[in-house]
Structure 1
Amino acid sequence: MVNFNGKLIVSGSDFINHNNRGLRYGDALFETIRTVNGTIFFWEEHYLRLMASMRILRMEIPMRFTMEALEAELLEVLRANKLEKSPARVRLTVFRNPGGLYTPRTNEVSYIMEAGPLDSPFYLIDTGDYEVELFKDFFVNPDLLSSLKTNNKILNVVGSIFAKENGYQNCLLLNNAKQVVEALNGNFFLVSGNTVKTPPLKDGCLNGIVRKKIMELVDKLAAYELIEASISPFDLQKADELFLTNTIVGIQPITKYRKKQFGNTIVRELLGKLNAVARFSNENA
């Protein structure tokens, strides 16, 4: 079951047509959310990011889009899919209503909520091989739009195909200044000595929820210094550790980039703290 504009309908139903602006122009935003036992990880952060993104795209925010109302509908979708007592992945998509060409006829929006199962209620470390390469066919524009979670993800799609065709688990994206921005499906961190570095938003990376949480956690570690700064491809092979973050996986250590192998010491230290923060978020949801 999916929620379309507040009504539950059977998954697979034909409820969107060729006039949908998300389909025609990518005129849409989405949030991917982890839930466990019917409670929502980092819900306030997801909600505030969505509201800020809608304002930036000049979408009209409906009066009913309160944090409490949307949370109630998300929980209803979980119950309808029998996922209220298990870990789940929820996607909330908001798109401008049909009409117009590039210039919309209206700024009013519609939305879809959908849910599917996840394997674990906790963030876990993937200890298998995880090799990455730079994706250099196309580049991220370092501007505000790149920091939003929009439906314009063709760069990520083409990069994912490149990774699959060449046997990589992921690729790192560059901006047009040839700086490392993020991975195909998450934010990027580099560890060198006692320094943990992540690209700043101005370089074009997504304003990730778990990125922010990891930055807060690292900032509290006495043994490490957190720096937001541009990362050159030359910095990668000099690093001690590389890792990715996103809401669903949590933290993914990179084991290999070209001929360099990497450890996961700080990832192991951060993972337990991230799970604790997530549980606290659940308890106070």
Structure 2
Amino acid sequence: MVNFNGQIVDDQELYLNSKNRGLLYGDALFETLRVVNGKVIFWEDHYLSLMSSMRILRMEIPMSFTMEFLEEQILMVLPTAVDTTSALIRITVYRNNGGSYEPESNEVSYIIDSDILANPYYILNEDSYEVELFKDYSLSKNMLSNLKTTNRILNVVGSVYAKENGYNNCLLLNESKSIVGALNGNFFLVKDKVIKTPPAEDGCIKGIVRKKILDILNKIDTYECQEISVSPFELQQADELFITNSVVGIQPITKYRKKTYENKVAKDILGKLNAAARFN
């Protein structure tokens, strides 16, 4: 099922048209989140992220777009299977039809759709997971790169490159040749007790799981956490590398070129992330 502006429609039904600005210009934003037992995980963070992004893109935020209203809209599209307790939700907000690069209006519409999740909480995938740098194109170091817009052609081309060359994922670079993130999430590097992740100023997505992990790390003394530029030359000296997003939580990287990695820190943090998700 799909929630299209408050109306439930079948996911096979045609409810968009050729004038859709998300289709024509990538003039749309999205948030991906989890619902477990009827509870939207990290909902306040996702909501504030969406509202902030809409303001940056000068979209008009409807008066009805309260946390309570959008949460109700999310719950309307939960899978109806009796044994389903968790779902993956995507909220897409796009500017309404009209205009070319200059829109006729800043008013918006929204789509909310769902998929069944096999596990209610994050599970560590310990299968082989190899990455490589994607160097064909780079991200810009500006605020637009921080947003989850539907204009993700670099990620699409990078994903095709990864598949063609037998990699599970690729790491993206910015114009200064620093690592920004992965094709589908944020990036963390562990060396001894220091954990690094690229700062927003380098062009990384402001992911919610990234934010929650930083919150967790800043409250404990086990590790030193740094939001700092990461050079590709640091990869082969690292103890661990991992990717984060709202779908998988934490995905350990097991191999980059001839270097292999452990996942002890990823396991430790994943337990704390699940605890935070349970009690948020």
Interval containing the TM-score (normalised by the shorter chain): over 0.9
Q: 1:74: which partner in 2? A: 74
CA RMSD of aligned residues (A): 1.1
Distance in 1, matches of 2:24 and 2:40, equals 31
Q: Give the TM-score of the pair, scaled to structure 1.
A: 0.96
Residues 1:4 and 1:84: Cα distance change in structure 2 (over 3 Å): farther
Distance in 2, matches of 1:209 and 1:49, equals 8
Which residue type is aligned with residue 109 of structure 1? V
Q: Structure 2, unaligned stretches of length 5 or more?
A: none
Q: Are positions 1:228 and 2:235 aligned together?
A: no
- 1:157-197 per-residue CA deviation (whole Å, 9 max, x = no partner) reads 11011111111110000001100000000100001111100
**Farther-moved stretch of structure 1 (213-222 vs 99-108):** 213-222
What displacement does 1:113 show?
0.6
- 1:116-135 per-residue CA deviation (whole Å, 9 max, x = no partner) reads 11111111111110100000
Q: 1:246: which partner in 2? A: 245
- 1:223-263 per-residue CA deviation (whole Å, 9 max, x = no partner) reads 21001110000011111110110011001110000000111
Q: 2:209: which partner in 1? A: 210
2:254–2:260 CA contact under 8 A, matched in 1: yes
Q: Are positions 1:134 and 2:128 aligned together?
A: no
Q: 1:99: which partner in 2? A: 98
What displacement does 1:23 show?
0.3
Which residue type is aligned with residue 95 of structure 2? R
Distance in 2, matches of 1:244 and 1:250, equals 8
What displacement does 1:221 show?
2.9
Distance in 1, matches of 2:271 and 2:135, equals 34
Which residue type is aligned with residue 68 of structure 1? E
- Aligned length in residues: 280
| Local SS of the residue matching 1:237 | helix
Which runs of 4 or more aligned residues in structure 1 lie more than 2 Å from their structure 2 counterparts after TM superposition?
81-85
What displacement does 1:85 show?
4.2
Alignment of 1:122-161 (within 5 A): 122-161=121-160
**Farther-moved stretch of structure 1 (82-91 vs 12-21):** 82-91
Q: 1:7: which partner in 2? A: 7
Identity across the alignment (%): 60
| Local SS of the residue matching 1:202 | helix
What displacement does 1:265 show?
1.1
Which residue type is aligned with residue 256 of structure 1? K
